[in-house]
Amino acid sequence: MQTGAQIAVVEDDPSVRMVVTDHLRLAGCEVHQYGDGETAWRAIESRMPDLLIVDRMLPGLDGDELCRRIRAVSNVPIIMLTALDGLAHRIDGLEQGADDYLAKPFSLRELQLRVNAQLRRAGSAAAFLEFTAGTFHVDPAHRRVWVGQREIALTTREYELFLYLVRNPDRVISREEILREVWRWDFGDASTVTVHVRRLREKIEPDPHFPTFLHTEWGAGYRFTTGTGRAC
């Protein structure tokens, strides 16, 4: 399973919700759980997760309507859970926008495999899609980055560092993790990261001495944010 993937579990049965949530968290996912569709929609409307697991028979805003609302704004993978097991019900669920359909009762192992498959597909498709993060616009297919209307000229390593940071917003990332994930080094001189962070700041920050986007968390690493607050 993709460690760190953000998953929303929308299920009105608290026992099912907790079992699924606990299982996914043990697998390394960051899970947010909701007991009804309206609460889930208000939360995910502002910040879409990497994948949703949605019970079809929700009180109030049901799973079908939740899927339709999500599909109007996002292609995020959706796995629908339901007690309605039958070909017509499965087809109907998929027509509402679900990517997969799992009937209750279900195996947690099967659910995990389906989550894995959906995350892999989404990752493969999303890897080259253009996206916007705050004032930044990124075109991964052509390895181009803009801040506002200005295109930034980045070296290969600067681009890879920027892409890793922008895809992990508001998270403190150690220099060791950056070496491992960007440089693919299990060990090495962490000052290499420091130098590249400084060079990257010179290109993306309005004032590199008072960063707006790429902050230093002393003794811990770096944190990228698309906000306007300033830090060291």
Verify that 19 and 38 share a domain, yes or no.
yes
Question: Which of 93, 108, 126 finishes a domain?
Answer: 126
How sure is the predictor about 126, in pLDDT bands with cuts at 50, 70 and 90? low
Question: Which of 126, 155, 189 finishes a domain?
Answer: 126
DSSP structure string for 175-221: HHHHIIIII--SS--THHHHHHHHHHHHHH-SSTTS-SSEEEETTTE
Verify that 143 and 197 share a domain, yes or no.
yes
How sure is the predictor about 5, in pLDDT bands with cuts at 50, 70 and 90? confident
For position 93, what pLDDT does the model report? Answer: 61
Q: What radius of gyration, in Å, describes the C-alpha atoms of the chain?
A: 20
Residue 71 structural domain: 6-126
Verify that 119 and 136 share a domain, yes or no.
no
The C-alpha atoms of residue 18 and residue 5 are separated, in whole angstroms, by 18
Verify that 97 and 148 share a domain, yes or no.
no
For position 3, what pLDDT does the model report? Answer: 53
What six digits make up the tokens of 126? 């999303």
The C-alpha atoms of residue 118 and residue 78 are separated, in whole angstroms, by 8
Verify that 138 and 180 share a domain, yes or no.
yes
Verify that 12 and 103 share a domain, yes or no.
yes
Question: Which of 126, 154, 180 finishes a domain?
Answer: 126
Residues 140/163, Cβ–Cβ less than 8 Å: yes
Residues 192-207 as b/e (b if ≥16 CB within 10 A, e otherwise) read bbeebbebbbebbeee
Residues 212/230, Cβ–Cβ less than 8 Å: yes
- Window from 2-6, 103-107, 118-122 with minimum mean pLDDT: 2-6
DSSP 8-class letter at 128: T
Residue found under tokens 């060079």? 199
Structural domains in the chain (count): 2
C-alpha separations of 125 from 66, 141, 200 in Å: 23, 11, 27
Question: Which pLDDT tens digit goes with each residue over 67-113?
Answer: 999 988 888 899 998 876 655 556 666 777 788 888 888 899 999 98
β 51-55/100-103 pair status: unpaired
